[in-house]
Each structure stands twice: as C-alpha cells, then as structure tokens.
Amino acid sequence: MKPSEPKLEPRSIRPTTFAAATVAALALVLVALGVAWGRSARRGNGDPTGGRVMSTKQYTKPPVEQLRKSLTGVQFQVTQNAATEPPFDNAFWDNHQPGLYVDVVTGEPLFSSTDKFDSGTGWPSFTRPVEKGRVVEDDDRSHGMVRIEARSAGGGSHLGHVFDDGPAPTGLRYCINSASLRFIPVDKLEAEGYGAYRPLFGKDAHAAAAATPTAPAPNSCARPAPGEKPGCAPTLETAILAGGCFWGMEEILRQIPGVVETDVGYTGGKSANPSYETVHTGATGHAEAVKVVFDPSKLSYDDLLEKWFFRMHDPTTRNRQGNDVGTQYRSAIFVTSPEQRKIAEQAKARAQASGRWKAPIVTEIVDAGPFTLAEEDHQKYLEKNPGGYSCHYLRN
C-alpha cells in the first residue's frame, strides 16, 4: 500500500441499527406466526367440514369479458373486485328455503341451507362450507383491519369473510355476499347436476332447513365493540329514487360514473304485489322508482342527489312529470338510513336555493320500504329501445 493511500478498516454495523433491524424482523415473524396460530386455533386445528366430500367435480373460471356480460354489476364487483353488498338488501339474507348455494361464477357448490343461520347481520351466514376444499381462506388487511377472506376454490370468487363468533358445532360464521351465490332449491338439485348433495337434506328437506342453528348475539358485524370497526362493512350503497317514468330516470342514472347497477321497480305503496298494470292506474300508492347501487368511494350520495337527481327531472311538479300524471310519477327520495335522510334534506334545500327552480320543490323524503322489481321488459327499457319515450334530461 502506498503511504498516501488511507488505510481501509472493515465496515462495522452500528449496534443500534443492528438491534432495530433484529427487533423489526422478529416482530414480522411473530406477526406471521400469530396470524397462522390464530387461524389454526380458531379452527380447533381441524377442518370445519369434518372432512366431508360429496363430489370431486372440478370447476373453472370463465374469461373475465364473458363474466362482464353474464353477471350483474353488483355480482361482478363483489366476486371480481372484493366489494361488499349492502346488508338487508340482498337476495339471500332472509332466505329459508332448503337447498344448495353455489358460486355464481362457476357453479361450484359452496354452502348448504342446513348450515345456514340468522346472524342478524343482513348477510347470509353459514357455520361451514358444504364440503372440504370448496372454500379457501386468506388474510385480508384492507380497510384498516385484519380479517380472514373466503374465496371459492375453483373460480377464486370473493365470497365474504370468516369470523369466530358463530354458533355450534364449529363456532364459525361465514359472512357471505348474496351476490357471490346462486341458490338451487332441493327439488332442482338432480336436474341441475347436484344430485350428489341430495342426501344432505334427508327425507323432509323443509324440516331440515327449519332446524338450522341460531347465532348468539352480539357478533362483530351486527354490534361491534365500542370504538371498533364492524367486521363486515359494505363497500356499496343503495339509493332509491322516484321522479316520473322510471325508463328515463334509469337511462341517465345507469351511465353515471360510480353507479354499479340499476333496477326499476315499484315502492311506497300499500299493495303487496304491484305490477305495471296496477301501478299505472295510480290507485296502489306506489311510485315508479329506480334502485341504484353505487360505489361511495367514486360517487357520494350527496353528489348523486344534487348533481344528478335534482337536475334530471322537475321536482316542483306534484304527482306529475311531463305528460305523465298521477301519484306513481311523484318526486320522492326513499332513504335507507338516518344519514341518507340528513343528506337528502340538505341536498333538497340546496337545490331550492340554487335558483334553478322558481317554484317550491315538492320532493318527498320518506323511509324506504319494500321495493318490487318491475317486469323484465321495463328494465333498461331505453337501452333496449333507443329513441323510446322519455321526458328526462339534465338541466343546467
């Protein structure tokens, strides 16, 4: 070495840096072990299905573009993008029929009505999958909490989450989106290729369904601990709006960015089974309305009302919209929660103060009740019949 060259010493690690790195690494290991141990302990180191296998048929996921056409907007968002549908506003939360629940994407059998129970959460809940290997689980760290996600094995469809506050015999609660499921009644199992599962229901299938267990209360979806986030939180919200002929309203609403799905139907009346023929008379008290499922992270309820609803129809004409006259054409917002009511009242006041409308706004703000889907030929009517009748347009 030349005298002018500095002497190089071996690089040392500062004790504090080494200690911090060691602690961090150990913490990660402990977290991983803790999650794995917790999941194992939650299962009792066993399989909640008891190793039950009734069929070995395999199921595969169709191409995504095919799913965009075959699934509804909510079904696609839930199964493919892990969205969570609104509680108490879905197909199967209160379904008590005996039968099999299969993956809406692939048809893979997932849950049985014999393991279904009323959890009080507003989502279908089950104590276990129908058989071993049909439902896979993984850690879900989204939305600022750690949960166990449930997916279908064959298609990878997002189903919901698993919690350890369920009833016997497993102590588990599979909190599942209705949008992930298709229901097959017992009397159609053989016809649809699920005859292997018929023995689950015995000779008296309806008695077997009635004997399903009831969940203890409280649970982490229905009543979280003070200051704690609910274990199941919807990522989609529902609005129900009326403002004249539902054809024209839906045509505008379905194209708004952030809207996932729209359906037209009847609400706000007294008759149990409204139809277009009866509602059209104006004697049932029902309004033609649109149910809008939207993603509040992309479209707020406030913006839906102020920027769209109060601009797409004339809210100052009582029981009338254009040439359509009658109570079925009234302007109304059917709110699903106290928060929606507060927002609706504020949006109505701002619309009145905007100067856009010279006469008083007569829009009703009432609690949402039963919503009956209109007949299929009324759904997406103007999409099916371009140039059809409508009196709806956006005002400046």
Listing DSSP states for 331-342 in one string gives EEEEESSHHHHH
The fraction of the chain above a pLDDT of 70, given in percent, is 81
**Mean pLDDT (the chain, rounded):** 87
Tell me how far apart the alpha carbons of residues 69 and 291 are, in angstroms, rounded to a whole number. Answer: 20
- Tell me: pLDDT of 118 over 70: yes
CATH 1.20.910.10 fits 64-210, yes or no: no
Measured CA to CA in angstroms, residue 148 lies from 33, 49, 105, 128, 162 at distances of 15, 17, 21, 14, 5
What's the average model confidence in pLDDT over 115-144?
Answer: 92
What is the pTM assigned to this prediction? 0.81
Q: What pLDDT is attached to residue 231?
A: 64
Q: What pLDDT is attached to residue 93?
A: 96
The helix or strand, by DSSP H or E, that contains position 102, with its residue range, turns out to be: strand 99-103
What's the average model confidence in pLDDT over 279-305?
Answer: 97
Q: What pLDDT is attached to residue 199?
A: 96
Q: What pLDDT is attached to residue 1?
A: 42
- Tell me: pLDDT of 131 over 60: yes
The fraction of the chain above a pLDDT of 90, given in percent, is 75
What are the boundaries of each domain within the chain?
A: 64-210, 237-384
Q: What pLDDT is attached to residue 167?
A: 93
Q: What pLDDT is attached to residue 24?
A: 46
Q: What pLDDT is attached to residue 203?
A: 73
- Tell me: pLDDT of 58 over 80: yes
Q: What pLDDT is attached to residue 225?
A: 62
Q: What pLDDT is attached to residue 13?
A: 38
- Tell me: pLDDT of 30 over 50: no
Top-confidence residue, 146 or 392: 392
Given its phi and psi angles, is residue 333 left (phi above 0), alpha (psi -120 to 50 degrees) or beta?
beta
Q: What pLDDT is attached to residue 223?
A: 58
Tell me how far apart the alpha carbons of residues 56 and 180 are, in angstroms, rounded to a whole number. Answer: 21
Q: What pLDDT is attached to residue 319?
A: 96
Q: What pLDDT is attached to residue 213?
A: 53
pLDDT tier at 35, thresholds 50, 70, 90: very low
Q: What pLDDT is attached to residue 126?
A: 97
- Tell me: pLDDT of 350 over 70: yes
CATH architecture of 237-384: 2-Layer Sandwich (3.30)
Catalytic center residues: 175, 245
Top-confidence residue, 317 or 5: 317
| Residue 275, burial from CB neighbour count under 10 angstroms (0-12, 13-18, 19+) | middle
